[in-house]
Every structure is written in structure tokens, then in C-alpha cells.
Amino acid sequence: MGIDLPLIWFLIIVFGVMMYVVMDGFDLGIGILFPLVKADQERDVMMNTVAPVWDGNETWLVLGGAALFGAFPLAYAVILDALAIPLTLMLFGLIFRGVAFEFRFKATAEKRHIWDKAFIWGSLFATFSQGVVLGAVINGIPVVGRAYAGGPLDWLSPFNLFCGVGLVVAYALLGCTWLIMKTEGPLQENMQRRAKPLLLVFLLVTAIISLWTPLTHSAIADRWFTMPNILWFLPVPVLVVLVSIWMLRAVNRKSHHAPFLLTLALVFLGYSGLGISIWPNIVPPSITFWQAAAPPQSLGFMLVGALVIIPIILVYTFWSYYVFRGKVTPDQGYH
């Protein structure tokens, strides 16, 4: 029995995207929460909690994009053609967010508000665009032959836009619980007050998307609610309810670490629900990852490099978080 190289590369891309969502999610969430914090010193602390790691977190986005290009060129071409506008807006948002990180701490007090706004809007644009892309993938991308068959604005649908809003809420919750874990004093208390409302809004948005999806896509409804698929899918909503109850109790107890870890669990459950919904398609509803895969020789050649580079990324990611562990205080400077 031969090695299923397309499956291995599909799992690598899924892992890379998941790592990006988890790690850059709270970075972007901090920018989304910036308007809720007015004191400059507290805003400095918020940025300092991610300053040492934010650029390394985006390595996973680069890995996912490069792997998609090399391993599944057909999927890369179709997705880029269909979603060129939201993907470009995402990149502009990430650029503005990154520039704001560096320039905000060098700006005069009179000009700092400019970079605060760049940080806020960059984070919002990047997150909303990612959510729109997610919604478009769930909705499906029309393909005829090996080419995108839709228009340049097909992504501009109510469902996709609502998914954009949903991801903004999810990242805000990630950012909020990250700050609970990494800060102390008034800023931490502020975030502890925000955590419960954000969780409830997140659950509401998740429920709406979970109802909207099968109601508008009969293929996904059949996948969710027929045997034996329902046995695979049923644990996801059950675990979401249990983790949410656990998180509410953790927030009420003013726990420092549990809310963030439980939010990560909720994000992972949502991600796994998406995977169950579209499997084995890489361009829903018609192109599987086997159909979109590059030749086996190319996949095998790239896999050798991936087996070297991915452990290196994991090691330096772990080390950077280990070195900068613990609480961030107002007297610490920009890293």
C-alpha cells in the first residue's frame, strides 16, 4: 500500500492554517479590542503581550499559502481567482497592522493616535476578510473544468459577510482571554468583564452559522444528519456546550489561564466542524484534494523539505513563547 501524499499534504495545510488561526487570532483580537481600552499605558501593555511573537505567528500563514501553491496548484489558482479581493484586503490589513506595531512606539504622543487607528482597522480588515474567505469556502466555489466559473464579486453574499462578522467576534474572544492570561490589574479586570458577553455573542453567531449552513446547502445537511456521519459530527456541538459551561465557570472564578485554553478548544471544535462539513473537498463542492494535487514526484520532493522546516518552526515557536512567558507589566518596554 503506497503513501497517500495528497492526504499528507492536505493534513499539513490544515495543521498550518489551524496554527495560524490559533496564534494570530489573539494578535488580531487585541487590535479589535483596542477601542474598548482608552488609557495609553494599558494599550502599550496590550501590544507588549504579543510584540515578541506576532510576526513569528504569521509564519504559519506563509506556510499554508506556499504549501497550497506547491501541493495543490489547481486549488490555489481557483481560490485566488475567486477570492482575490478579500485576500488582497486581508494582506493590506496585515500590512497596516504590522507597520502600526513598529511605528506606534516611535511616534510622538500627538501622532500616536494615527498608528492606533492603523492597528485597529488593520486588525478588523484582516479578520473580516479571513471570515469572508471562510464563508466562501463553506458556500462553495463554482468551477467548470479546471477554472473558476463565477464573477469577481460572488464572495459578496450575506452568508459570507456574516461569517466575517463571526470571525471578528471569535478573534475578539481569543484576544480578550489572552489578555486575561497575560496581564494584571485594571486591564485584566476589564477583560474579565468583557469575556462573558463575548462568549455569549460567539455562541450566538456560531449557532446562526450552524443553522444557516445546512438550511442553504442540502449536501452539507445530508452529511451532517445521515448515518453514520451524524456519529462523527454529534460530538462537536455537545463538546461546544460543555466547554462553554466550563469557560463560564472559569470566568466567574476569575481564572487566569483556563479561559484562554478553553477558547482555543472552542476554536478547534469550530474548525473540526468545518472539516467534517467539506471533507474531502479542498475547493467545495466539487474538487477533492486528490483531484487538485500536484504530481507525486513534486509532493514527495516538497515533503522532504517540510519534514525539516516544520519541526524547526515548532521549536522556535515554543521557545519564543517560553522565553516571554508570564505576566506583562506596564514598566516593560517594547520588545
Provide the grid cell at 132.
469572508
Give the type of residue at 178.
W
Which pLDDT value is given to residue 2?
65
Average pLDDT over residues 287-303: 90
**Residue 153: CA atoms inside 13 Å, Cβ hemisphere, count?**
1
Task: Give the pLDDT score at 275.
Answer: 78
Mean pLDDT of 309-322: 88
Question: In this predicted model, what pLDDT tens digit does every residue of 194-225 receive, in sequence order?
Answer: 999 999 999 999 999 888 888 877 777 777 77
Among residues 143, 137, 180, 178, the alpha carbon closest in space to that of 271 is found at 137
- The strand ranges marked E within the chain are 143-144, 147-148, 281-283, 287-288
pTM beyond 0.75, yes or no? yes
Query: Which one of 98-102, 241-245, 269-273, 275-279 scores highest in mean pLDDT?
Result: 241-245
Q: Is the peptide bond before 330 cis (omega within 30 degrees of 0)?
A: no
**Angle, CA 285 vertex, CA 282 and CA 290 arms, to 5°:** 40
- pLDDT grade for 158, boundaries at 50, 70 and 90: very high
The type of residue at 237 is: P
Instruction: Work out the average pLDDT over 221-239.
Output: 77
259-270: average pLDDT: 91
Q: Where are the alpha helices (DSSP H) in 105-140?
A: 112-139
- 297 membership: H or E segment, kind and range: helix 296-323
Answer whether 22's CB lies under 8 Å from 267's CB: yes
Alpha helices in 72-184 (DSSP H): 73-82, 84-104, 112-139, 158-182
Cβ proximity of 278 and 137 under 8 Å: yes
pLDDT of residue 221: 75
pLDDT tens-digit series, residues 90-148: 999 998 888 887 788 777 777 888 888 888 999 999 999 999 999 998 888 888 887 88
Whether the predicted pLDDT of 292 surpasses 90: no
The C-alpha cell of 311 is what? 519541526
Q: Give pLDDT tens digits for 40-55.
A: 888 888 888 887 787 7
